[in-house]
Structure 1
Amino acid sequence: MKNVLRIIGAILGIVLAVYLVYQLRTIFVYIILAVVLSLLGRPLMNLLGKIRIKNFRLPNSLSALIVLIVMILFVVGIFSLFVPLIAQQARIVSSIEANEVARAFAEPLNRFSQFLADYELTEERFDEHYFRAQIRDILKFGKVSSVFQSIFGVLGNLFIAIFSVLFMGFFFLRDGMLLQRILETLVPDAEVPHVRVILDNTKRLLTRYCFGLVIQVALVTLIISVSLKFFLGIENALIIGFMAGLLNLIPYLGPVMGAILGVIIVMLTNLDLNFYSELLPKSGWILVIFACMQLFDNMITQPVLFANVVNAHPLEIFIVISVAGTLYGITGMIIAIPSYTVLRIIAKELFSQYKVVSSLTRNL
């Protein structure tokens, strides 16, 4: 009877927790990002804690502030390398006229339209005139102004998010036991040892996962940029590589989105090239490079960086990412694996006596 009541209580608790997380999801995302920030900064925090000059040691508050400043400068330094290049590329793309784009792709568009008409796949003609009308529609002032309004809205929300994450991250860095004490106050005394084990395992695995992601983004950026630059002579190689590295954080869809973005950038900035003899082959080689990069990532990078973190069946991971993507979109897909890892750690510690739980967590 006690086991039944415990199971019912656990289920009700999980349902209530999921409901609260959903209602306050923005705050919880800030907290999670702050915890991740503190995990990434913990090695430097520990290093600063070892610095002693006679009897003087850096206060934890000052050490936490130094760590945050170093991390901010690192991120700003990375983006300062790419933002000017992206801005320059945006100016080049924005200066392209609709007629110029339509004229460059007129012949292949007419062929494509004729192919659709021959097989009666559509009654609409996707020719030069249709393409030009679509481009002009996209570049209408109203839509452009709407895009700028959306951008300013996103920037406002981004500022709030950055401030919130840095503010909470400071306290998590200053007091490494803060999160543990908060959670221990929320559970009965009998469950405190379980909470400590869960937190220790979570910190260990998430630290590996976060550093693995940083290395993965850097490798994808480097390999794509170098390959596009030296094998194909593409001027925008660094921008394409950087965007590919960031998009690679999105499971399954990210590499495809990066490849499509790379092809679009190359096509729009090389309208003077002949479509069939130069532009199309170059686009094909870009797709080949991205495909090789994806194979390298799947067969070497991910097993080496994440082998001891996830330890889950590929089908299991696919289902988790699909569910997270359905519920929360791109954000859900990005945080699916670390969230699932944490849930498995919790389940292993609290419900390992159940067969389904022991089966899902046996490799942790």
Structure 2
Amino acid sequence: MQRFFIYLILFIAVFLLFGWYFSNITLYLILSLILAALLRPLTNRLNDFHVMGQHIPRWTAILVSYIAIILFLVSIGLLFFPLINNQISILSSLDYEELYEQAKIPISRLEDWLINYQLIDSPRGELFDQIQKTLLETIAGIDVGKFISSIINTASSLFIGLLAVAFITFFLLLENGLFRRNVLNLIPNPYFELSVATFTKVEKLLSNYLTGLFIQVIVIFSIASLGLTFAGVEYALTIALFASVANLIPYAGPILGASFGIIVGISTGDYAGSTEINYLIFRILSVFAVVQITDNILLQPLIFSKSVKAHPLEIFVVIFAGAKIAGVLGMIFAIPVYTIFRVSIMEFYQGYRSYQIFKIKS
């Protein structure tokens, strides 16, 4: 038994080392597994559909599922296109000379305050000149060629990543259960039954988690879109969609969603003075307050605590550990990865106490 746990610890260590060293491949595989889990019900349903007495070929069902994803993404893009076009029109019509003069006012007030309290001893007007000089030096220091090269490299990496995820997902869907069968084939026969039970439980909990996330996105989008529409905010659907997706980022997501809503609301509206702007901000924050109350009281406990069967304090620590390791992506994938290891260890521990095979091996 001790030998088995030594092998198990070594396997986990090698797995983590491999995942860290080949982080890109690991990320592609994780995204492919998630995408395959989301598309598998639709693919199976299409595969079972009969045309002229014949099943639709599985590869055709997968391609139709891909087309559905592409159409969904295009619909989202069309939803954001009017907002982007509006912002471009606003930027092209700005009077930059007027903005330049308006920017001097708050900076001059700040400089007067600093001089009055003897925090700085520079002549009046020097603070604005220094800020202007710093901005110009920063802009002049930008290497345009290097900037364009970085954009091209990022775009090419993203394109390669999309192709890799699409390719891996295609074969995961084509060979339904291929990944699970290959992993289970590596398990020695004495531990096969326990491994199958562990795999089944992990799949069930992750499926509940993904379903819960989908419900969370739908509910937040519905509440935010209705609330912003009644509040008279322009591009309510676009703001609600961004907020619902951003909310997948724990803790930081709600702040991003509310900030995006305020920026869009102010930049797309025609307001006479600060009173109307303050009233708009109040309406937007009120809507997002209702969204967060609903999310924190109803959705979060239902999705995270029950779907992965973990204590809220565990979730809090795991999310911040994920953020430390991999930033935003780490925060998003922290709970699923933690669920896999947590359930696996608990199942093997219970198997150690319950399964006769461990007693014999010991």
Asked if these proteins are the same fold (TM beyond 0.5), I'd say: yes
Rounded to whole Å, the distance in 2 between the matches of 1:100 and 1:76 is 38
**Other-structure match for 2:87:** 89
Q: Equivalent residue of 1:235, what SS?
A: coil
Alpha-carbon spacing, 1:327–1:142, altered in 2? closer, same or farther (3 Å): same
For structure 1, which segment, 46-55 or 247-256, has the greater mean C-alpha deviation from structure 2 after superposition? 46-55
Larger Rg over CA atoms: 2
For structure 1, which segment, 252-261 or 182-191, has the greater mean C-alpha deviation from structure 2 after superposition? 182-191
**Other-structure match for 2:289:** 291
TM-score for both structures, normalised by structure 2 = 0.82
**Other-structure match for 2:248:** 249
**Other-structure match for 1:362:** none
Rounded to whole Å, the distance in 1 between the matches of 2:219 and 2:94 is 32
Do residues 41 (structure 1) and 39 (structure 2) align? Answer: yes
Rounded to whole Å, the distance in 2 between the matches of 1:225 and 1:139 is 39
Rounded to whole Å, the distance in 1 between the matches of 2:115 and 2:43 is 66
Counterpart pick for 1:310 among 291, 296, 308: 308
Deviation at 1:194, TM superposition (A): 3.0
Query: Residue 271 of structure 2 contacts residue 277 of structure 2 at CA under 8 Å; is this kept in 1?
Result: no
Rounded to whole Å, the distance in 1 between the matches of 2:236 and 2:256 is 16
Query: What is the letter of the counterpart of residue 260 of structure 2?
Result: L
Deviation at 1:117, TM superposition (A): 6.0
Do residues 166 (structure 1) and 166 (structure 2) align? Answer: yes
Do residues 239 (structure 1) and 238 (structure 2) align? Answer: yes
**Other-structure match for 2:357:** none
Counterpart pick for 2:66 among 41, 65, 68: 68
Deviation at 1:245, TM superposition (A): 1.9
Number of residue equivalences:
351
Alpha-carbon spacing, 1:15–1:98, altered in 2? closer, same or farther (3 Å): farther
Query: What is the letter of the counterpart of residue 310 of structure 2?
Result: A
Deviation at 1:141, TM superposition (A): 9.6
Query: Residue 318 of structure 2 contacts residue 335 of structure 2 at CA under 8 Å; is this kept in 1?
Result: yes
Do residues 259 (structure 1) and 270 (structure 2) align? Answer: no
Rounded to whole Å, the distance in 2 between the matches of 1:126 and 1:261 is 34
Query: Residue 60 of structure 1 contacts residue 174 of structure 1 at CA under 8 Å; is this kept in 2?
Result: yes
**Other-structure match for 1:183:** 183
Query: Which consecutive residues of structure 2, in runs of 5 or more, have no partner in the other structure?
Result: 354-362
Counterpart pick for 1:278 among 276, 279, 294: 276
Deviation at 1:336, TM superposition (A): 0.7
Rounded to whole Å, the distance in 1 between the matches of 2:120 and 2:262 is 26
**Other-structure match for 2:204:** 204
Alpha-carbon spacing, 1:84–1:279, altered in 2? closer, same or farther (3 Å): closer
Q: Equivalent residue of 2:249, what SS?
A: coil
Query: Residue 305 of structure 2 contacts residue 311 of structure 2 at CA under 8 Å; is this kept in 1?
Result: no
Deviation at 1:37, TM superposition (A): 1.3
Alpha-carbon spacing, 1:54–1:221, altered in 2? closer, same or farther (3 Å): closer
For structure 1, which segment, 89-98 or 255-264, has the greater mean C-alpha deviation from structure 2 after superposition? 89-98
Query: Residue 32 of structure 2 contacts residue 165 of structure 2 at CA under 8 Å; is this kept in 1?
Result: yes
Alpha-carbon spacing, 1:286–1:137, altered in 2? closer, same or farther (3 Å): farther
Alpha-carbon spacing, 1:161–1:224, altered in 2? closer, same or farther (3 Å): same
**Other-structure match for 1:217:** 217
For structure 1, which segment, 345-354 or 290-299, has the greater mean C-alpha deviation from structure 2 after superposition? 345-354
**Other-structure match for 1:78:** 76
Alpha-carbon spacing, 1:154–1:97, altered in 2? closer, same or farther (3 Å): farther
For structure 1, which segment, 179-188 or 311-320, has the greater mean C-alpha deviation from structure 2 after superposition? 179-188
Rounded to whole Å, the distance in 1 between the matches of 2:283 and 2:138 is 29
Alpha-carbon spacing, 1:163–1:290, altered in 2? closer, same or farther (3 Å): same
Q: Percent identity?
A: 33
Query: Residue 212 of structure 2 contacts residue 303 of structure 2 at CA under 8 Å; is this kept in 1?
Result: yes
For structure 1, which segment, 97-106 or 310-319, has the greater mean C-alpha deviation from structure 2 after superposition? 97-106
TM-score for both structures, normalised by structure 1 = 0.81
Aligned alpha-carbon RMSD (Å): 3.4
Alpha-carbon spacing, 1:203–1:68, altered in 2? closer, same or farther (3 Å): farther
Counterpart pick for 1:327 among 325, 328, 331: 325
